[in-house]
Amino acid sequence: MGFSASDETLLNRYVTNTDSNIYCVHGLPPEVVAVLFAYYSRSPATFRENLVKVVKEKDVDVRPEGTGTGLAGASEKARQFHEKWVVAYGHGSVAEHAVASIAIEDVSILATKAVEDNRLASYTEKSTRYQVYDRNRYYRPKNVTASRLGRLYEETGNHLMDAYSTLYPQVLEFVKGRNPKAAGVEERAYAAQCHAKACDTVRYLLPAATLTNLGMTANARSLEHAISKLLSSPLEEMRDIGLKMKAEVQKVIPTLVKYADASPYLMETDKALARSAAENVKAKAGGDRPVVLVDYDKRAEEKIAAALLYKHSQAPYETVLNEVEGMGEAKRRETIAAALEKIGRFDAPLRELEHAYYTFDVLVDYGAFRDIQRHRMCTQTNQALSTGYGYSTPPEIGEAGFKPEYEDCMARARDAHAQIAAEFPHEAQYIIPLAFRKRVLFTWNLRELNHFIKLRSTPHGHQSYRRIAQLAYDEIARVQPFLAKFIRVDKTP
């Protein structure tokens, strides 16, 4: 279809070109974008053709950028479309084309982990490596601070933040003294390296209540689920974040998150399972192995080889698998090697590796968990943050002579947590420093494990999660050494 001069003028405001079969869309309300992509399903017209049609049918006043809404009529039509097809008929996939980016600021680290517990979204969080946190900025749960335990909570929070603020410059000087600037290294780069190392060391003292910032981009379908989860939380901060997110998202996606609400299913099921755990699981916190491979695909080689061959055949999978099982170990491994041995430094392994799974029980300090949680192409089951598994101590704390102060902070936090948890079990998590360990169950496929181990085992990473990545590799190498040899791992100290 050829466009008139006026159509070209209109389109140039919202698409990156008018003559190629591939183009980007910009400047349109998210719900309008979702509708126009939805038209692909039933209309032979292009996105550009449907955009022109929508504008003309609604007699929309398309003004120069920045001088008015211009697409109010199209937005109204989009709302009507979504009310009918997404809400009434449940065509939720349409909502995946409407995307919102949300700034979530001055919330606790504990809250960001709840927000980020959604697989299909993108996040960027304030770094504990590159920024020094403000001594006075940590979350104070109203029900705790209004109770007899309020003073204990604030005294403990202040003590932790004071220790963090006091130790940072001292640890920085220790790091510089132990690692003098090498010849040829720029002063700015050297200062940044020392700053990062000092921040990595003292971050263990930060309580989970520490206020931070988070950027989130997600489609409307994922946002509806995320908001519902937050509104179903037993913590007031999470519910408040959920309400504010919903209100703000509705300003750009007014229809598609309209019905996000607290879920009785999530709330009642969570309570029922907590009761069942209390009745049936008598064991307390225990075990000190950081990484335990609790289950894995015993037929991983056969399934991966079969999937690789299946892709290049016309036979049913079951038939290919039977043939792979009969071909012998040497030929099977020859097939797998052909798929992996030429992989480059920046290449992702083939998707066929996703057909093999590995489940790890990971015991890791909360600071490192924040980084590992980012690997969301897996299944994660989290235990609540507690003090029962003890805490990690970075070697620099002892080497610099600050161990007594550090251990005092951990002891005070453990005692405060115990007292607060007796009355406020959920809110007590806020006062726990990032040094304390928690358990999380990860089920990764082999492709994602390749990515996780390669990325997180490098010397540039934090020592705590580097160890987790290296131990995960060791566990795979223990049970399936042939597959492990294709994983890039950095075992340097």
Residue 34: per-residue pLDDT: 75
The pLDDT assigned to 90 comes to 52
Cβ(332)–Cβ(301) below 8 Å: yes
- Output the DSSP codes for 284-352: -S----SEEEEEE-TTHHHHHHHHHHHHTSSS-HHHHHHHHHHH-HHHHHHHHHHHHTT--TTPPPPGG
Do both 235 and 310 map to the same domain?
no
d(CA 400, CA 392): 16
Residue 65 pLDDT grade (very low, low, confident, very high; cuts 50, 70, 90): very low
Cα(462)–Cα(369) distance, integer angstroms:
11
Residue 317 lies in a domain: yes
**Domain final position from 251, 280, 309:** 280
Same domain, 207 and 224: yes
- Has residue 37 been placed in a domain? yes
Are 133 and 225 within one domain?
Answer: yes
Calculate ∠ Cα 89-93-95, nearest 5°. Answer: 90
**pLDDT at res. 51:** 86
Q: Give the domain extent around 312.
A: 298-353
Residue 390 in domain: no
Residue 292 placed within a domain: no
Same domain flag for 88 and 106: no
68 shares a domain with 115: no
Q: How far apart are CA 110 and CA 79, in angstroms?
A: 35
Q: Which of 71, 97, 123 is the last residue of a domain?
A: 97
CB 231, CB 261: distance < 8 Å: yes
Whole-number pLDDT of residue 92: 54
pLDDT of residue 83: 59
d(C-alpha 367, C-alpha 69), whole Å = 44
Q: Contact 441/220 with Cβ under 8 angstroms?
A: no
Instruction: Please write the tens of the pLDDT for every residue from 4-41.
Output: 999 999 899 888 888 887 877 788 887 777 777 777 65
Of the pLDDT bands very low, low, confident and very high (cuts 50, 70, 90), residue 84 is low
- How much is the pTM? 0.86
**Are 132 and 237 members of one domain?**
yes
Whether 316 and 265 share a structural domain: no
Domain assignment of residue 32, yes or no: yes
As a whole number, mean pLDDT of residues 423-434 equals 98
| Domain membership flag for residue 412 | no
Number of domains in the chain: 3
CATH number, position 204: 3.30.1360.170
What pLDDT score does 89 carry? 45
Closest CA to 4 of 44, 45, 52, 39: 52
Last-in-domain residue among 321, 338, 353:
353
Confidence check: pLDDT of 81 > 70:
no
Asked if the model's pLDDT at residue 238 lies above 80, the reply is: yes
Query: Distance between CA atoms of 210 and 281, rounded to whole angstroms?
Result: 32
Q: Are residues 14 and 116 in the same domain?
A: no
Residue 482 domain-assigned (yes or no): no
Same domain, 210 and 320: no
Q: Are residues 215 and 228 in the same domain?
A: yes
Burial class (CB in 10 A: 0-12, 13-18, 19+), 479: middle
**pLDDT exceeds 60 at position 197:** yes
Residues 104 and 160 in one domain: yes
- SS3 of residue 242 by DSSP: helix
Instruction: Give dist(CA 67, CA 56) in Å, integer.
Output: 19
Distance of CA 212 to the CA centre of its chain: 15
- Summarised one tens digit per residue, pLDDT across range 364-414 is 999 999 999 989 889 999 999 999 999 999 999 999 999 999 999 999 999
pLDDT of residue 240: 93
Contact 389, 322 (CB under 8 A): no
DSSP lists the bridge partners of residue 380 as: 442
The answer to whether residue 387 is domain-embedded is: no
**Residues 121 and 93 occupy one common structural domain:** no
pLDDT band at 325 (very low <50, low <70, confident <90, very high): very high
Structure tokens at 333: 């491994």
Contact 246, 257 (CB under 8 A): yes
* CA-only gyration radius of the chain, Å: 27
